[in-house]
Structures are given as structure tokens and as C-alpha cells.
Structure 1
Amino acid sequence: MKYFSFTLITIFIMLSCQFSDKKMAQNTVPAAQEFSKGKQVYDDFCIQCHLPNGEGVPNTFPPLAQSDYLKTKREASISALKYGLSGEIVVNGKTYNGNMTAQGLTDEEIANVMNYITNSWGNKNTRLITAEEVSKVER
């Protein structure tokens, strides 16, 4: 009986820890290989202007690599992907005044590519962007 009680308590503790770990993992940044869906979206829709290294084209397309805009303007960055962007923006101290058309991506695709670019090329985002968050961004 003592052994049975010990076994039940051990199982309960293990299950509790697993549930807690999964819940915590939902909002933390996964390992690099977890960003493969975002990289695929980037390669299909973004790479032409922002280039494979995320450095963009000087005076034409702003960099995503080590981008202060991505770090400080989370909602505006999501909005640019969702609805497009026109007018002046300042990225890393340089002014860009171009147009980016809406890419026609789903909220999940936007979340995936945002998580990829905000964790690539010197960027570090410790709080994942979710499709639910993207769905709440308005024009």
C-alpha cells in the first residue's frame, strides 16, 4: 500500500510538471528549427526586397536585421504585413518612404514570419507573436 501511494504521488508530480512546462512553453521562443514555417513564408514573400540576410536595400527597402523598428514597434510591424505600409518610417536612424503592399497572408502565416524575423539576424524576441495577437491588430 505504501508503495502504491508513493507511485501515485510520483505520477501526479510528473504530470503536474509536464503540464506546467507546456503552459510555460506556449509563450517562450522555441529553438531555431521551430521557425521553419516562418522562414518558408519569408523565402516566398519577403526575401525579394529584404534579401536573404535581412539587410534590405539601402535607401529603398529597410533592414530587418538588427532592426530597432521591429524591436520597438511590434504592432506597427504586424500591421505592415497584414495591411501593407506606405509613408515614412525610420529604421535604425534612416528614413524610408516607400510602399509595401499587403501580402495576403493569414494571421498564422504573419505570426510565423514575424517570429522568424524577430529572432534572426541579430534580433531577439522573447515573447512569441501569436495568430490571435495578429487577429487583433487593426488598420
Structure 2
Amino acid sequence: MQKGKRLYNKFCTSCHLPNGQGVAKVFPPLANSDYLKANREASIKAIKYGMSGKITVNDEEYNGVMAPLGLSDNEIADIMNFITNNWGNTNNSLITAEEVSKVQK
């Protein structure tokens, strides 16, 4: 989890903030995120390929753009495992680089 935390701090905090709270109406929260819990593959895809368009997180609508971060499958798995096991999120099944590699655009 420490590697995921370091990567999160380097690539994600400028939008989602160090505590995963995001910015209301601009950058969705990762903390206690119903979207993360229900959309594992879509969340991986967002980090891997970027994302645009409307999503609803914790009953709030977001319509922004997330650029792809250019990370390896291992790095994406590390970040996903960090964010899905912190700030009120619980993931009983760790995400692997192999799982990330199977996520297609």
C-alpha cells in the first residue's frame, strides 16, 4: 500500500486532494466513494485511459475530464489498492497488474 500511497501523492492529489475528498462539482471524491465500490473496472479504465463525461458519485454529478496518467499496469494496481482501502473504502479483493492489463479502452 505504501507504493500506492506514494504514487497517489505524486499523480492524484492535485485534483482529488491528499485526503481523497475531491472538490465538489469539479473533481469527484475518492473517500467513501460509492462509484469506486460499484465501478471497479471503470475506475481502472479512468486511470489507465482517462475519462470524460458525466458520472455520479455519492449523489453528485460530475462532468469533467481526467487525462490518462501514463502509468504502468503495476502502478495503476498499486494506486487502486491504496484508494480502495483508505478513507472509508474497503476492498476485500486486491487488484492485480494482470487484472489491469485486461481492461480495454
Into which bin does the TM-score normalised by the smaller protein fall?
Answer: over 0.9
Give the match for residue 74 of structure 2: 108
More helix by share: 1
Structure 1 ranges of 4+ moved more than 6 A: none
TM-score when normalising by structure 2: 0.99
Please tell me the residue identity of whatever aligns with 1:117.
I
Match of 1:137 in 2: 103
**Counterpart check, 1:54 vs 2:20:** yes
Aligned sequence identity (%): 64
Give 1:49 shift: 0.4
Offset of residue 66 of structure 1: 0.2
> 1:71, 1:57 → 2: CA distance?
19
User: 2:73 & 2:102 partners in 1: Cα distance?
Assistant: 10
Q: Which secondary structure does the structure 2 equivalent of 1:138 belong to?
A: coil
Task: Please provide the CA RMSD for this pair.
Answer: 0.3
**Where do 5+ consecutive residues of structure 1 fail to align?**
1-34
* 1:123, distance to aligned residue in structure 2 (A): 0.3
Q: What residue identity is the alignment partner of 1:124?
A: T
Answer 1 or 2: higher relative contact order, Cα 8 Å, separation at least 6. 2
Shift of 1:111: 0.1
Of structures 1 and 2, the larger Rg is shown by 1
Which whole-Å CA distance do the structure 1 matches of 2:40 and 2:100 have between them? 10
Q: Which residue of 2 aligns with 1:20?
A: none
**Which residue of the other structure, out of 56, 61, 64, is the alignment partner of 1:98?**
64
The answer as to 2:45 corresponding to 1:79 is yes
* Unaligned ranges ≥5, structure 2: none
Give the alignment of 1:18-33 within 5 angstroms.
Answer: none
How far did 1:41 drift?
0.6
